Amino acid sequence: MEEMEEELKCPVCGSFYREPIILPCSHNLCQACARNILVQTPESESPQSRRASGSGVSDYDYLDLDKMSLYSEADSGYGSYGGFASAPTTPCQKSPNGVRVFPPAMPPPVTHLSPALAPVPRNSCITCPQCHRSLILDDRGLRGFPKNRVLEGVIDRYQQSKAAALKCQLCEKAPKEATVMCEQCDVFYCDPCRLRCHPPRGPLAKHRLVPPAQGRVSRRLSPRKVSTCTDHELENHSMYCVQCKMPVCYQCLEEGKHSSHEVKALGAMWKLHKSQLSQALNGLSDRAKEAKEFLVQLRNMVQQIQENSVEFEACLVAQCDALIDALNRRKAQLLARVNKEHEHKLKVVRDQISHCTVKLRQTTGLMEYCLEVIKENDPSGFLQISDALIRRVHLTEDQWGKGTLTPRMTTDFDLSLDNSPLLQSIHQLDFVQMKASSPVPATPILQLEECCTHNNSATLSWKQPPLSMVPAEGYILELDDGNGGQFREVYVGKETMCTVDGLHFNSTYNARVKAFNKTGVSQYSKTLVLQTSEVAWFAFDPGSAHSDIIFSNDNLTVTCSSYDDRVVLGKTGFSKGVHYWELTVDRYDNHPDPAFGVARMDVMKDVMLGKDDKAWAMYVDNNRSWFMHNNSHTNRTEGGITKGATIGVLLDLNRKTLTFFINDEQQGPIAFENMEGLFFPAVSLNRNVQVTLHTGLPVPDFYSSRASIA
């Protein structure tokens, strides 16, 4: 939050705002500072004389230097106050934070009243030290400006966050650290002062003492004083004038200048403006993120310029030394040229870094200030400053978009030495233009930290070299077949990240990428070796399942809401390798016959698994089982399932077989042979059954040994 501190300081005194007021130009001033910079205007410039002449159009009259027109919403209203005919022009000064301040034409009168209540000289004028708009005060003086209670709240929170341990408020000399706070008295006490001034007896025994940190939070969360109307000081703000863009009270609507204006509910406009400010901040946040990345790019450019400079100097020295004495004098001149170019590039980039850093700090400060303002729960106070903040956020965002995030200098040294002329041409030797930018894009770089595999999918990410000047129109990603065969194209497009699905499990793939534009293609990137998972981890797929299927346990457990059989598939399909998974029976009521096996993606979902030619299954009850495909029942086998039973499914696509197990024992012979294509794990069940899927399992040892013997 330190970068926000600039937003919280008065442009006149340079300290944190004290009792800030909001000028019509939306800038803020301390009340005391506002009084200190008041000046007195000639009688002809007074609000009364303007109203009498019919030229006044608002509560506050802005001064124009040529006095040809008054400020209104239709003109710019900008100008710098430089004095009047009745008083000599006074040179402006600078406040501690660098803003020009216009000193008063006469010393302010001594008064014991607060800055807001003390009388101001007749026909007083105040000039905003930030935008230099000048305006004449009416009869209310400084009381006519609303107080910025939202800003006070933000400053209070900021100072509390920076404050050290809370001190006792009753110690006479060196305050000790507070140990409790009384919520009723609103006072922090150390232990001696609490025993002396707040004994736990009598009426004080009912007071609630809390730790100091909790007391600080209670103070911060306590409701603030409700704001009152500047025109009717006894009335609270209740509505929002859309035309004047300010909170108003009911008397303003009945008898004041807002009686004919469009008004809306204060709470609704509060929420609307908060939403608008939040949306504006989203755009500015993106610009700030881009600026941070841009600063990283600029700092990398500094290093690259340094490296390129060293490399270029080495080449230049080597070429010049080859020409022996005849080249030595010219060598010094050429080195001077290179160093000058080097310093020029560094100066340009460092200046841009400095400029962008300052701008980013200001942007971050504004963002943090706006976020703190959004936390305020005071609708009227928020609405007093929301329009100005929204404009500032949009203006700051626009400033980032005007080519600010484009490097002003390249890192290349566009110079090359031609050492082919004869010795008599040495004195005419000079730099020639370096090779033209290659029309072919630079070779892409695979981002290894973002490339990964999951199950039988591979995700690859790449980028252009940071200092590449030739844009790429697209990229071509190639993978081999997983067996060291030829590469094939798996993606062509503009994206720089691609996920390739449907690869083989337990396989090694080689990947490479190249860029292309209208001129041609770049060289291939370095080849990346990817290893897919040895075993498959997957869950059931809600997207392809029947609507009666009920999922739980991260889609690993399924049951059904219907008495009819419904089908659900696994998320991962298999076309190569050996795969084994198990299902445990969590609930088994009334002797149903669930089916387990594999299926194509387009299998029928509203009948038992195996009824069509898209599924290969074993269905089983409490006594026996059958294999079924295309509604053909075969191989009745004794032995059924109960609650707690485990069904294993072994799909061996190397041998093209499907085998089933119950409680680690093979159920019947090999169920199906000649299995080719893409298969998904599948189950069909009704409401009397609930099963849980277990994946990532190795192939059973006895089957592995049997396969090796075969």
Chain segment 173-198, per-residue pLDDT in tens: 888 888 998 988 888 899 999 988 89
pLDDT of residue 488: 93
Q: How many CA atoms lie within 13 A of 161 on its CB side?
A: 11
Answer whether residue 587 shows pLDDT above 90: yes
Cβ 130 vs Cβ 39: under 8 Å: no
In the chain, the percentage of residues whose pLDDT exceeds 70 is 80
Residue 112 structure tokens: 């014991």
Model confidence band, residue 41 (pLDDT cutoffs 50, 70, 90): low
- Total Cβ atoms within 10 A of residue 176: 16
Q: Is 520 exposed, middle or buried (0-12, 13-18, 19+ CB in 10 A)?
A: exposed
**What is the layout of strands, in order, in the sheet containing 246-248?**
246-248, 239-241, 263-265
Residue 227 structure tokens: 């704001």
- Total Cβ atoms within 10 A of residue 19: 18
pLDDT of residue 72: 33
pLDDT of residue 427: 59
CA–CA gap between residue 678 and residue 575 (Å, rounded): 5
Average pLDDT over residues 474-498: 92
Phi and psi angles of residue 630, each rounded to the nearest 5 degrees, phi first: 55, 40
CA–CA gap between residue 282 and residue 295 (Å, rounded): 20
Model confidence band, residue 331 (pLDDT cutoffs 50, 70, 90): confident
Structural element, H or E, at residue 579:
strand 578-588
Q: Letter for the amino acid at 227?
A: S
Q: Letter for the amino acid at 14?
A: G
Reference 459, options 476, 443, 475, 447; nearest CA is 447
Answer whether residue 91 shows pLDDT above 60: no
pLDDT of residue 66: 36
Going by DSSP bridges, is the β-strand pair 180-182/209-210 parallel, antiparallel, or unpaired? Answer: antiparallel
End-to-end CA distance of the chain: 71
Average pLDDT over residues 326-350: 83
CA–CA gap between residue 51 and residue 250 (Å, rounded): 25
Model confidence band, residue 334 (pLDDT cutoffs 50, 70, 90): confident
pLDDT of residue 221: 53
Answer whether residue 54 shows pLDDT above 60: no
Q: Which alpha helices (DSSP H) does 242-323 contain, by range?
A: 250-254, 266-322
User: Which range has the worst mean pLDDT, 89-103, 169-183, 632-646?
Assistant: 89-103
Going by DSSP bridges, is the β-strand pair 180-182/689-694 parallel, antiparallel, or unpaired? Answer: unpaired
CA–CA gap between residue 69 and residue 63 (Å, rounded): 8
Answer whether residue 519 shows pLDDT above 70: yes
Average pLDDT over residues 257-282: 84
Structure pTM?
Answer: 0.39
Can you list the pairs that 700-705 forms with residues at least 24 positions away whose Cβ atoms lie under 8 Å? Answer: 700/580, 700/648, 700/650, 700/661, 700/664, 703/580, 703/650, 703/659
Chain segment 398-449, per-residue pLDDT in tens: 888 766 788 888 888 877 776 666 556 655 666 655 444 457 888 999 999 9
pLDDT of residue 43: 55
Average pLDDT over residues 65-90: 35
Buried b (16+ CB within 10 A) or exposed e, 469-489: ebebeebbbbbbebeeeeeee
Cβ 516 vs Cβ 476: under 8 Å: yes
**pLDDT higher at 242 or 94:** 242
Average pLDDT over residues 631-646: 94
Cβ 528 vs Cβ 460: under 8 Å: yes
Reference 117, options 84, 148, 100, 142; nearest CA is 142
pLDDT of residue 418: 67
Can you list the pairs that 623-626 forms with residues at least 24 positions away whose Cβ atoms lie under 8 Å? Answer: 625/660, 625/662, 625/667, 625/668
Q: How far is CA 53 from CA 56, 123, 140, 658, 704, in A?
A: 8, 16, 21, 101, 105
In sequence order, which residues have a C-beta less than 8 Å from that of residue 688 and are 6 or more positions away?
A: 563, 587, 588, 589, 590, 592
Q: Letter for the amino acid at 220?
A: R
Average pLDDT over residues 7-35: 86
pLDDT of residue 46: 52
Answer whether residue 250 shows pLDDT above 80: no
Average pLDDT over residues 353-365: 91
Average pLDDT over residues 320-326: 71
Q: How many CA atoms lie within 13 A of 517 on its CB side?
A: 15
3-state secondary structure at position 143: helix
Phi and psi angles of residue 185, each rounded to the nearest 5 degrees, phi first: -80, -20
Cβ 626 vs Cβ 642: under 8 Å: no
**pLDDT higher at 76 or 503:** 503
pLDDT of residue 705: 63
User: Residues 182, 187, 192, CA angle at the centre, nearest 5°?
Assistant: 85
CA–CA gap between residue 151 and residue 570 (Å, rounded): 57
Answer whether residue 343 shows pLDDT above 70: yes
Model confidence band, residue 670 (pLDDT cutoffs 50, 70, 90): very high
Chain segment 127-183, per-residue pLDDT in tens: 888 888 888 887 777 877 888 888 888 887 777 766 556 788 888 888 888 899 898
CA–CA gap between residue 8 and residue 348 (Å, rounded): 33
CA–CA gap between residue 100 and residue 80 (Å, rounded): 10
In the chain, the percentage of residues whose pLDDT exceeds 90 is 33
In sequence order, which residues have a C-beta less than 8 Å from that of residue 103 and are 6 or more positions away?
A: 37, 90, 92, 93
pLDDT of residue 121: 65
Model confidence band, residue 475 (pLDDT cutoffs 50, 70, 90): very high
